[in-house]
Structure 1
């Protein structure tokens, strides 16, 4: 969660303390959005609720400790979608599904339960995309859907190690179809810490002060070249200030 929201690299102690889930004090995009008066909706892993207390306009957490549950834990997230896509009074909606992770822990990535769960996730993404696209056609909103995992999975179904399958996950940006560009379908490698400054740029909030990530250039297609250059310039200034603060030799 720290890398995704702050753009900084968590140490081993941060990983351990994450299970205790005290509120996150470090500058992050969730707090920045709340400070900017934006409404955030959250459903899913209740670690978010503990890390960001009183940050969400509406919320419901699901526990991650019943690993044998891979159905109800996701249904309790999905059941809110119809209402939220109808109300649409929010600026950001975060959904953290746990079912796929639980299946991996129980029976590994080759479990016959994996494909049905992935199909379920596909249907949910399609529902969200179509729901938001209707509003775009009415010229009421513009949206970006970011799909990612916070970790991968080993052949045994666990995570936390340094194998390629554990540290590599897909990240997909979905935009309204009428704004799509062919170059945006190209694949590229990014770091997890790059998501924080990128989301900050896309939501027009300050980049967290301890961020070490780089704004994903391909995500800025809705901006003109001057605007994109300005975003990258401020990203560079932010990292330079961080280096200056932490290094006497800088």
Structure 2
């Protein structure tokens, strides 16, 4: 649900969403998913299906496309369907995947009609037993591998985002009757999809799981894109095969609504059903685990085992695969940094070296071999946490050097200004009256000063020093000279409306 607010979807007593409330109370686990700024549709969907947050270099495209190729759960699915607006489909780059059937609603229709179109297309695939969602579902697992039999359907509902953008300070969405009507329509869609899936899948060799969430939230009147809690907290509801049911609170007193809230002001439980909290990128490994496919190689998410319904041996294998996938990224990232810096000056992450990784992995494997799965899972969980912290460390490794460069530039300018201030008294010109042409006057003036006090020579010397400084900063203030070749002139679109040769020179010097 694009742009759905968590506090509005789960607002007690959920009168506008009775079917959703029934699932929350009797079938699924509910909670919150935390994302990051910029809270836009493309970064949100990339986090959901690829498992990583915004690439800063996407600034050059106005956050509309990701300039780096990335892996998603669609790449590993046996078959997948996606019904979404064209901007979301373009962001996920599904065009060249033969196993993915993607389609966008017709142009010119309203967002509500587009949602009806997407839901209708999914329901139609359920009836098509030859090429639809349940095609070949009678085939046993002996004939198809797990990844080949994995089916993924992505239904994008955009009306909540459009309704949020239409709100204003006089009519905020939290008090909008139109938004309540929208929630009732969503609840009807969810009921229709769930009931038909249950009816069609009866008797088939299939297991169905549901993940309901949003790419980002929405403010009351200013849309989205920032980092406020209303924008970065999204709803989460999961139920079905392989997922836990409602998490009952041990402190439930039988009251319909408890007044306890978390640090974000959300209720910690609804009618005795405890809230779960995860990061948005964690939904990527969760989706991969439910489908039985490899986790996308770029994912930074951690599999939320608290939402998985399985025994300890299976959970051990799941978290092991997740941890090894994160370690593989760490090894690549570490090698990249080592290549770009002198070994003498390179500082490895202190809390997790490669030797620590090997020791911790060996310890977890030993515990798993002894069938001490609870301890092995805990070991891998700690290693995951440290690995993600190490990845964040290497992602921001260059920042301290950039700070040194900025500090050096500031000190250089201050010293230069101080030097000029000290030299100004010695450069005061003498009073000269000479009624001759400038071409003759300037050479004569040069002879009125000593060589060290001539202002023209001093200024020329300062200019040459500044040019040398720019040359050094341009080429050696970054990792190596070759980085200048990577400068894409198109990034200047973010700063100037019309690229001129002079602007390009300035940006090249800055690089």
**Do Structure 1 and Structure 2 share a fold, with TM-score over 0.5?**
yes
2:70 is aligned, of 26, 39, 48, to 26
1:47 maps onto 2:87 in alignment: yes
Contact 1:69 1:102 in 2 (8 A): no
Helix, strand or coil for the counterpart of 2:275? Answer: coil
Q: 1:17 to 1:202 in 2, by over 3 A?
A: farther
Structure 2 partner of 1:162? 227
Q: 1:242 to 1:24 in 2, by over 3 A?
A: closer
2-structure distance, mates of 1:101, 1:217: 30
2-structure distance, mates of 1:102, 1:174: 27
Displacement of 1:124: 0.9
Structure 1 partner of 2:117? 76
Q: 1:202 to 1:122 in 2, by over 3 A?
A: same
Structure 2 partner of 1:189? 277
1-structure distance, mates of 2:200, 2:47: 32
**What are the Cα deviations for residues 104-139 of structure 1, in whole angstroms up to 9, with x where unaligned?**
001142322111111111111111111122244424
Structure 2 partner of 1:61? 104
Contact 1:3 1:193 in 2 (8 A): yes
Structure 2 partner of 1:224? 311
Displacement of 1:98: 0.8
Q: 1:23 to 1:42 in 2, by over 3 A?
A: farther
1-structure distance, mates of 2:63, 2:83: 18
**What are the Cα deviations for residues 72-127 of structure 1, in whole angstroms up to 9, with x where unaligned?**
22222122133122226331111111111000001142322111111111111111
2-structure distance, mates of 1:109, 1:198: 31
Q: 1:40 to 1:82 in 2, by over 3 A?
A: same
Gaps of 5+ in 1: none
Structure 2 partner of 1:215? 303
Q: Provide the alpha-carbon RMSD of the alignment.
A: 2.7
2-structure distance, mates of 1:179, 1:234: 18
1-structure distance, mates of 2:312, 2:184: 38
2-structure distance, mates of 1:22, 1:232: 28
1:100 maps onto 2:160 in alignment: yes
2-structure distance, mates of 1:22, 1:225: 38
Displacement of 1:161: 0.4
Helix, strand or coil for the counterpart of 1:161? Answer: coil
Displacement of 1:151: 0.2
Larger mean Cα displacement after TM superposition, 78-87 or 188-197: 78-87
Q: 1:163 to 1:119 in 2, by over 3 A?
A: same
1:140 maps onto 2:205 in alignment: yes
Helix, strand or coil for the counterpart of 2:322? Answer: helix
2-structure distance, mates of 1:92, 1:132: 13
Matches within 5 A, 1:118-133: 118-133=183-198
Contact 1:152 1:165 in 2 (8 A): yes
1-structure distance, mates of 2:188, 2:60: 34
Q: Structure 2-normalised TM-score? A: 0.44
Structure 1 partner of 2:173? 109
Q: Structure 1-normalised TM-score? A: 0.85
Structure 2 partner of 1:237? 324
2-structure distance, mates of 1:24, 1:130: 40
1:3 is aligned, of 28, 47, 62, to 47
2-structure distance, mates of 1:198, 1:240: 18
